[in-house]
């Protein structure tokens, strides 16, 4: 949250929508209250529409194919550092077709630049 919005506070993420399934963890009162406090709009997926899960599952598969299945790690710390490096490389350098062959970071910056600044 702080990497994207600079702080954690009431309505800091106003204008952001969070797509999620109908799992009990996402529909719970505590989770819904927390995202509402942050200013995030809850956007539950349609029942029997697994596309959102498919996107998340495809990313996990990409992570496995490009890191977890091709390397071994001697310590949890080594794994943690590799995951951070993968996240940085993915967000800054991978070109994603649905983003117009732009990296996730570039697409996010362009989306944030097109949004009016909060007062």
Q: Tell whether the torsion through CA atoms of 86, 87, 92 and 95 is positive or negative.
A: positive
pLDDT value of position 113: 80
- Structure confidence by residue, pLDDT tens digits, 9-33: 898 888 888 888 888 888 899 999 9
Range of weakest confidence among 6-10, 57-61, 88-92 = 6-10
Tell me the pLDDT of the chain averaged across its residues.
86
Query: pTM for this one?
Result: 0.59
Angle 14-117-52 from CA coordinates, rounded to 5°: 40
Q: Does residue 117 register a pLDDT over 70?
A: no
Q: pLDDT at position 52, please?
A: 64
Q: pLDDT class for 38, splitting at 50, 70, 90? A: very high
Task: Give the per-residue pLDDT at 25.
Answer: 86
């Amino acid at each position: 949250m702080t990497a994207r919005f600079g702080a954690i506070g009431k309505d800091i993420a106003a204008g952001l929508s969070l797509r999620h399934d109908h799992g009990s963890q996402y529909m719970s009162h505590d989770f819904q209250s927390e995202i509402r406090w942050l200013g995030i709009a809850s956007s539950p997926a349609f029942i029997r529409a697994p596309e959102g899960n498919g996107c998340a599952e495809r990313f996990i598969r990409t992570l496995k194919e490009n890191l977890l299945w091709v390397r071994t790690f001697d310590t949890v710390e080594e794994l943690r550092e590799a995951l951070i490096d993968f996240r940085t490389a993915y967000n800054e350098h991978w070109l994603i077709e649905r983003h117009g062959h732009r990296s996730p970071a570039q697409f996010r910056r362009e989306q944030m630049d097109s949004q009016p600044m909060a007062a």
